[in-house]
Structure 1
Amino acid sequence: MRTPLMKRKANSTAHGDRFSDERIEAVWKKATVVAGVDPSKRRKDSCGAWIEFEKYGHTIDNGTGWEVDHIIPVSKGGGDEISNLQPLQWQNNRSKGNDSPASNFCIIKAR
């Protein structure tokens, strides 16, 4: 008998686990560095939304919290390879959902 797929929580590995600190930092480094801003603290996601390293996992509306996104969703065969992960402001990540290829998912943009 086949086991049904478990529903993963947002911001988790393909197996539903928490990302390691090392993986979180590696994904953070993929965000866009902005001149004049400390890149260890603030960067921009691919939508142009500000994200803050210390706000990883924070989900306050229109805030700078962010999550690790699977570029190719797990539901479509994507894995936890660093090349398939990107940092996204949490609302942008939730808007993207399982879309692949994703388009028009940026709801929080440059401010």
Structure 2
Amino acid sequence: MSWTDEEIQKVWEKGQKVTDNDPNLWRKDECNAWMSRKEYGNRKSDFGWEIDHISPGGSDSLSNLRPLQWDNNNDKSDGRLKCNIVSSGTNNDNKNKK
């Protein structure tokens, strides 16, 4: 799916604002993983993020979309959110790697 800049911004605004962080630059996803606004679509960045359909196969309406750190979105292969990438201070960590 190709999203417009306006759609990307509206989904970004659904991300969790974090005190003492500029919400135009930094937010957290539903898994509490950091996302950087400028890293939209960048799977080479720990802070990259993508637009996720809350209900897979559902509509493209804003109510069915959310921002997710790209690895959390990638791990959602069976349609269920696993939250493997979570924040640890100012970084993201994979909670399954020790």
Whether 1:40 aligns to 2:24 is yes
- Could you report, residue by residue, the CA deviation over 1:4-61 in whole angstroms, capped at 9, with x for unpaired residues? xxxxxxxx2xxxxx11111000000000000000000000000000000000000026
- 1:20 partnered with 2:14: no
Does residue 89 in structure 1 map to residue 72 in structure 2? no
Task: Tell me whether 1:31 sits opposite 2:8 in the alignment.
Answer: no
Q: Kindly report which structure 2 residues correspond to 1:1-111, keeping only aligned pairs within 5 A, or say none.
A: 12=1, 18-60=2-44, 63-74=46-57, 78-99=58-79, 102-103=80-81, 105-111=82-88
One-letter amino acid of the structure 1 residue matched with residue 84 of structure 2:
I
Secondary structure of the equivalent of 1:26? helix
* Structure 1 residue 97, shift from structure 2 partner: 2.7
Provide the C-alpha distance between the structure 1 equivalents of 2:77 and 2:64, rounded to a whole number of angstroms: 14
Where does residue 92 of structure 2 map in the other structure? none
For the 8 Å contact 1:73–1:98, the answer to whether it is kept is: no
Deviations 1:51-90 (A, max 9, x none): 00000000026x000000000012xxx0100000000000
- Equivalenced residue count is 88
Instruction: Flag as ranges the 4+ runs of structure 1 deviating above 4 A.
Output: none
Normalising to structure 1: TM-score of the pair? 0.75
Larger Rg, first or second structure (1 or 2): 1
TM-score, normalization: structure 2? 0.85
Identity of aligned residues (%): 43
Give distance in 2, aligned partners of 1:95 and 1:79: 21
In structure 2, runs of 5+ residues without a counterpart are 89-98
SS for the counterpart of 1:68 is strand
